[in-house]
Structure 1
C-alpha cells in the first residue's frame, strides 16, 4: 500500500514567509523579555555621561558607579542568557496556527484513525483536509508581543529612554571623553582620540537679538558686538588646557588661565587661544555699538488751527531705539524784550515731551510724529530751541541738531482775544507784570465800542477776572496758585472771544477768504498760499459745525431725531469741499483769475447756506423720499400698535382713565403725545388732534377721529395704512441686486402682516393683532435696511474704497461727526453718543494722524489712513 503524502508539508511550503516572520517575532519577544534590563542600564549610563554628571562628582564616585554599573550589567546579561530559549519551528507553527479558526495546521497534521478502509469515510476525510488547507492558506504573520508591563511594573525602561533623549538634546557626546581621561594610564593620545576636551559659547547682548555662537563651530575671524559674553569650560586633567586672550582687556585680579571655567566679556579686538590637547585659536573683531541718531524734519512740520503741533522726526540705530524725548528751551537772545517781556522772567523748566515710539515692528530706522498742543504754555509763539534725544538699549544717547523756531501754538485773529492772550502771557512771564496787566485790561474794557466784545457774557467775564486780579494785587501780591487760576480764566475768555458763535465762525471764514484773495493778488509763495488754503478749510469746517449746533439749539425737539438732525442741509458739504479742491487746483496751475472768481462764488454760496431741519423733502432723491415715507409709515404703525395695546389693557382694567397718563403715546408712534382713546362720546374729535411732531399732518385716512379706541376704527386705520404701504411699495425706485430684491420681499411681508392684523382687529383679537403689528414693524425695518444697502450699492458699484453716498443725503462720517452730507457715505446711526461729540471726533482724528506717521505700518493701512485724513 502506497504511503499517503502529508498535506501539511504542502501548506507550510506555501506559508514560508508568514511562518518566518512569526518565528522572528518570537525571537524578538524572548530577547526583549530576557535582556530589557541590559539595554535600560546602558541607556541610563549613556545619558548620565552625555549630561556631564561625571564632571560634577569626584573621581572615586565615578569609579564606584562604573564598577557597580558593570557588575549589574554582567548580572543582568547572565540572567537574560539563562532565561532565553531559542524558539523552534514547531513553536512558530503553533503560534501561527493559534491565530486561525479551528487550528487548521494541526488538523492537517492529523491522520485518519477510523474508517480508513471505508470509501465514504475517506472521501469525508479528504473534504475535511481540503477545507483546513483552504483556511491555512489565509494565515498571516503574527505580531510579536513586546509589552513588558509585568516584567517592568515601574516603567524603568521609559525613565532610561527619557534620560537618553534629554541627553541627546541638551548634552554632548564629547563629554564622554572626560570619562576616558579618568582611566589610569590614559595619555595625551587617548585625550585626542576622544575629541575636544573643552566647550565654549559666545552670547551677544540680548538687545541685539543675535544668536549665540558655539566656539567649536567657529574658525578664523569672529565678528561679534562689544559686550558679548564668552563662556569656556575645560574638561579632563586640570592644567592640561589653558586660555590666552587679549579681547577682554582684563587687568588686576584675573582668574588663572588653567581654570576649568572661564567667563569674560569682549571689549576690544584681539586674539583668543586655547593651548593644550585639541586647542584652537581665533581672531576676534569687536563691533562697536554706535550711538542712535535722530533728526527733526523741519519741512514737514504742521500746526493745526487749534494750535496742535505735528512735528515729524526720523530716528535710527544699529539695534533699535528704545526711548526718546523732546526738549524746548527758551531762546532769550532772540526774544523782543518789550512791553510785558521786559521784566525778568520767573524761572521755568524746559518743556520736556516723550517721543512716540513704534508700537510694533523694527525700531532700527523709523519716522514718527510728535503731536502735542502747547498753546496754553507761557512760551507760546516765543523763540525756542528744539532738540530731540533718543536712547538705545546700551544706554547711549543721540541728540539732534538744535532747531530754532517759535513754539507752535494756536493763533488768535480776533483783536480782543489776541490782547487777552497777550496779557495772559505777560502775567505768566512774571508776576511783577500783574499791575500792568490789570491796567491794560481795564483800559481796553473801559466803555468798549460796539462790536469789541461779541457778547455781554464775554465782557462780564473779563470784568470778573479783572476784579479778581486787582484783589490779588492789593492783598500782598499774587501767589502761584492765584496767578495760574487767573491765567486759566484768561485763556478761557480768549477762546470764547475767538470762537464765538456762528457769526464769529463766518467772520473767520471771510477773513480767511480775504487773506487768500490778497495772497493771490500779491503773488504770494506757494507755501503761503497752501497755508492760507488750509486755514480756509479749517474755518469752513468750523463754520459748518457751528451752523449745525445752532440748528440743534434752535430746534431741540428735532435734535433727538437722528435723521432730521443730521440729514437736512440745503448745501452739500462735499460740494463745498470739491469747490475748495477746485480752487486749490486752479491756484497750483497758476490760473489765479479763475481761482479768484471761484473763491468769490464760494464765499457767496457759504453766506447763503442755511441749515434746515424738518422742512420736508426739498432737494431729495426719489430713494430718500421713499425712505422717509417708509419711516413715517413705521411711526404710524407703532402708534397703532401702542393704541391696540392700551385698548387691550382697558379690557382687563375697565376703570382705568385712559388717555390721561403722562407717558401715554398716541398714534404718532412715540413722536409726541397722542390722541385720547377713552371711548367717551364726543371726545374723539378733540382729543384726537393732539399729535406729536412726527404724526402731524400724516393721518391720511382718519380726519382726526381715529382715537376712539374701538376695534373697528383701529381696523379701518390699519387698512388705510396697509394701502398706503402698498402704494409706497409700488412707487419704489428701481433698485437692483440682492439688497433691492430683499427690500421688496420684506415690504411685501410687512403688508401681509398688516392684513393679518386688520383681520384680527375686526375679530376683536387684540392680542393677535399686536403680534401681527410687531411682525409688520420688524419687516418694515428690515425692508428699510435692505433698501439703504441697495441705494448705497447703486451709488458705489465697486463696493471698495468709495465712501460716497447718495447725493443730497447727509450722513455721519467714520468719526461720527454731523457735518457729512451728499456723497459722503456712513451709517445713519450716531456713532459717538454724548454731549461733546466734536471733541471726541477731534481726538479720533488726532489718533489717525498719529498712526499715519508710523512708518512701520503696512502700506495698505498707511494709504487708508491718508485717505481718511484727506477726506475728513
Structure 2
C-alpha cells in the first residue's frame, strides 16, 4: 500500500512538470564572435562553390570555351628571348597578337605536349631552308628575317613576325670644342650613338704624307711606323645609346707631333658591328716650344725620328748652333754641356755601326729632355740672373764705368728681365690652360713688361745724359718693382696671419732638411761602394734640399757609362771643388745655415700661449740642437751619425709644427666657435673653398657654384676621373673608388 501511494504521488508531480525555456543569449558562451566566421564561410561556400557554377572554371584557361577540349588533348607553349645586349624582356608567345616585332637574333622556343604529331610548326623566319612542317616536341631557332610562323593542330595559331635590324653604331668628331693645353695635352670631343648602346671604341691617327711639307729633314722617305691607336673613353654609368665624351691624350713626344694626320674614330656595338667616322684632317696636337733654341732642338729630334738617314744632318745642325755660343743662347752651362754630349754620342753611334732603333730612341729622349730644359728653365734662376744684372749695373754706375760697359750691362739687364717675364707668362699659362685665361694672363704680362721697358729706357736715357744719381734712384725703383712682383707671385694669398707665415717657413725648413738628409744618405752609400755613382756634385742635393732641389742623384757622372753627359747634370754640372773640399764639408756648411735659419724662425714666432705653444717651442729647440749635432757629425765625416741627428731634427720639426697648429687653433677658437667667424668683413673659406658659416650656422658651398666656368671645371673633373678609371695599372681600391664616384655623379 505504501509503494502504491509513492507511485501515485510521483505520477501526479510528473504530470505537472514543464520544459526549461531556451537561452538565446550566446554571447556568454562565444565572447569572441567566432559564430559569425562560421556563418561567413557557409555563405561564401554557397555563392562560389555550388554545383551550378562549376562550368565557369573552363573559362579561366586560354581559349575560353575551348579550354576543356585543350585540357583533354594536345597543347603547346612558347616564348621569344631577344638578345641580351638589347635589354628587352622575354615575350610569352600565347599572349602576343597576330603581328610580332622582335630584334634580329631573337631566339624562339616552342614546346608541344600530348600526342606526337598532333601539333606541327611551319615558319619562314629562321632562313634555315625550305618551308616544312616540324612536329618535334621541342624546337628552337633564331629570327634572321621577317616571315610567318604557324602552329597547326588543336589550339594552333599563326603570327606575322617582323625582324627589327640592329643598326650599326655611328660616331663623329666634334671639331668645334677641340683644344690643346699648354703642355700639349689634347682634348678631342666626339659623339657616338647606337640603338642598343656602344660597347667600345678607338681612335686611329695616320700620317697624311701628301700634306707634309717635304723639305729639310722631311725630304727623305720616312721610316714605316704603325698608326697611333687610342682607346676611346666610354661612360661607366648611364645610357650608352647616345653620348658625348672627350678623348684626352698627350702625344707631344710622338714622331708625328705637329705633322698633318688624319683622325678616324671607330666604335662597335655588342653585335660586333662597327661604325667609323669620316676621316678628319688635322695637325697632331702637341706642345709648342717658344724658345728658339728649344724649338731647334725639338725640330732636329723630329727629323731624327722621321728617318735615321737624317742622323748626319742632325749632328751638323746641332754642332753649328752650339759652336761658340754667344749671348744668352743657352740658359745655363748645364744645357750647353748636355747638348754637346748628345752631339758626340750621336756622331759616335752614326760612325761606328750605324744607328739602330734603340740608340735612336735614346738620343730622341735626350733631345726631348734638353728641349724641355731650354724651354722651361727655372724661375728662380731667371730671378737670380735679373738681380745679378741689376747689381752689376748699379756697381758700374757707382764706380764710373765707361759708356760701353754700362751699355753692355744695361742690355744684360734687359735680356734677364725679358727672360724672367717670359717664364712668368708661361707659368701663368700653365696654371690657366683655358684660352680666355691665357689671354688675360698674357695681357697682364704685356702690361707689366711695357711698364718695365719704359723704366729701363728711362734709366738708360739718364745714364747717357750723365745724370747718374737720378739713374741710380730709378734703378732702385726698378728693383723695388721687381721685388713687389716677386712677393705677389710667391705669396699667392693675401692677409696671411703671422702664424700662417711661420708655419710656411717651418714647412720649407723641413723640406730643405729632408734634402740634406737624402744627400748625406747617398754619400754614405758611395763610401761603401766607391765605384758606383762617382763624381759627386757639390751643389746636387736630394728631393727638396737647397740649391740642387729637383735634381736627381742619378744624373751625376758615371750613369750608364756616359760620363761626359753627366757633367752637365747634378747642380750646374761642376765637379767637386778644386781645393779638395769634400761633399761632407759642403753639407756641413748648409746644415749650419739651415740651423741658423731655424733659430731665426724660432725667435720670430708669434706669441702662442697654452701647453701646445710651449710644446711647439720646445720641439723647435730640440730640432735646432739636432741640427747642430748633424753639423758636427758632418764635419767629422760621421755620415751615419749625421743622418741620425737629421732624422731627429725632422721629427722634432714635425712635432713642433703639429703643436704650433694646435696652439693657433686654440688661440683662434677660445670659445669653441671654430674658424667660421674669422675677421670682421673678411670672407672666410675652408680648405675646400666653401664659405664658412657665421656663429653656429653651418657653412655652405654656394660659392663653388658661382662663376662662368663652374660647368667647365665640373666637366674637366669628370673627364679626369673617367680617364683614371680606365687605367688598368692603378690599384683595385682606387679603381673601385673612381667607379663609385662615377656612379654617384
TM-score by length of 1: 0.47
| Residue 257 of structure 2: aligned partner | 380
Give the distance between the partners of 1:696 and 1:20, measured in 2 at CA: 91
In structure 1, the residue corresponding to 2:677 is in which secondary structure? helix
Shift of 1:319: 0.5
- Alignment partner, residue 427 of structure 2: 543
Q: Describe the shift of the 1:500–1:398 C-alpha distance in structure 2 as closer, same or farther (beyond 3 A).
A: same
For residue 95 of structure 2, the aligned residue among 217, 223, 227 is 217
1:207 to 85, 88, 95: 85
Query: Counterparts in 2 of 1:83-482, with a 5 A limit?
Result: 191-192=69-70, 197-251=75-129, 257-482=134-359
Alpha-carbon distance in 1 for matches of 2:310, 2:143 = 61
Q: Tell me if structure 2 keeps the 8 A contact 1:267–1:286.
A: yes
Partner of residue 783, structure 1: 666
Question: Residue 376 of structure 1 aligns to a residue in which SS?
Answer: coil
**Is the 1:225–1:286 contact (alpha carbons within 8 Å) kept by the matching residues of 2?**
yes
Give the Å deviation of 1:17: 3.2
Q: Trace 1:655-670 onto structure 2 (pairs within 5 A).
A: none
Alpha-carbon distance between aligned partners in 2 of 1:752 and 1:348, rounded to the nearest angstrom: 67
CA distance in 2, matches of 1:414, 1:630: 38
2:503 paired with 1:610: no
CA distance in 1, matches of 2:74, 2:97: 15
- Corresponding position of 1:850: 720
- Alpha-carbon separation, structure 1, partners of 2:704 and 2:217: 49
Q: CA–CA distance in 2 between the matches of 1:752 and 1:450?
A: 55
Does the CA-based 8 Å contact 1:289-1:318 persist in structure 2? yes
Residues 568-579 of structure 1 mapped to structure 2, 5 A cutoff: none
> SS of 1:413's equivalent?
coil
Quick one: distance in 2 between partners of 1:595 and 1:495?
A: 22
User: Quick one: distance in 2 between partners of 1:614 and 1:334?
Assistant: 46
Partner of 1:15: 28
Contact 1:792–1:805, Cα closer than 8 Å, also in 2: no
Q: Would you say the 8 A contact 1:174–1:195 is kept in 2?
A: no
Q: Name the CA shift for 1:506/1:316 in 2 (closer, same or farther; >3 Å).
A: farther
SS of structure 2 residue aligned to 1:437: helix
Deviations along 1:194-232, whole A, 9 cap, x unmatched? 598111111000000000000110002111111101011
For the Cα contact (< 8 Å) 2:27–2:33, is it kept in 1? no
SS in 2 for 1:380: coil
Residues in 2 aligned to 1:248 and 1:847: alpha-carbon distance in whole angstroms: 49
Query: Which deviations, in whole Å up to 9, do the C-alpha atoms of 1:484-534 show, x marking residues without a partner?
Result: 111111111111111111178899xxxxxxxxxxxxxxxxxxxxxxxxxxx
**CA separation of 1:784 and 1:268: change in aligned 2, threshold 3 A:** farther
Pairing 1:707-786 to 2, within 5 Å after superposition: 725=609, 780=663, 782-784=665-667, 786=669
d(CA) in 2 for partners of 1:220 and 1:198?
Answer: 17
Q: Matched residues in 2 for 1:380 and 1:630: separation?
A: 45
Contact kept, 8 Å, 1:630 with 1:780, in 2: the verdict is no
| The 10-residue stretch of structure 1 (778-787 or 353-362) with the greater mean CA deviation from structure 2 | 778-787
User: 1:356, 1:368 within 8 Å by CA — same for their partners in 2?
Assistant: yes
**In structure 2, what is the Cα distance between the partners aligned to 1:189 and 1:577?**
76
- After superposition, the Cα gap between the structure-2 partners of 1:430 and 1:246, relative to the gap in structure 1 and judged at 3 Å, is same
CA distance in 2, matches of 1:420, 1:577: 25
- Gap regions ≥5 residues in structure 1: 29-172, 178-187, 508-535, 547-572, 633-688, 701-720, 726-746, 755-772, 807-813, 815-822, 826-843, 855-860, 866-872
- Judging changes above 3 Å, is the alpha-carbon distance between structure 1 residues 797 and 465 closer, same or farther for their aligned structure 2 residues? closer
Equivalent residue, structure 2, for 1:549? none
Q: Deviations over 1:2-42 (max 9, x none)?
A: 999999975974434359849999xx9xxxxxxxxxxxxxx
Shift of 1:448: 1.2
Counterpart-to-counterpart distance in 2, 1:6 and 1:798: 99
- SS of the equivalent of 2:176 reads helix
* Superposed counterparts of 1:508-587, under 5 Å: 540=424, 542-543=426-427
Does structure 1 conserve the Cα–Cα contact (< 8 Å) formed by 2:82 and 2:106? Answer: yes
The answer to whether the Cα contact below 8 Å between 2:421 and 2:449 also exists between their aligned partners in 1 is: no
The 3 A distance-change label for structure 1 pair 429 and 500 is same
The structure-2 alpha-carbon separation of the partners of 1:370 and 1:195, relative to structure 1 and needing over 3 Å to count, comes to: farther
Structure with higher Rg: it is: 1
Q: Against the structure 1 CA distance between its residues 625 and 469, is the aligned structure 2 distance closer, same or farther, given a 3 Å change threshold?
A: closer
Structure 2: any 5+ residue segments left out of the alignment? 1-12, 42-59, 385-419, 454-477, 506-594, 617-655, 694-700, 706-713, 725-740
8 Å CA contact 2:676, 2:684 repeated in 1: no
Closer, same or farther: CA 424–5 of 1 in aligned 2, 3 Å: farther
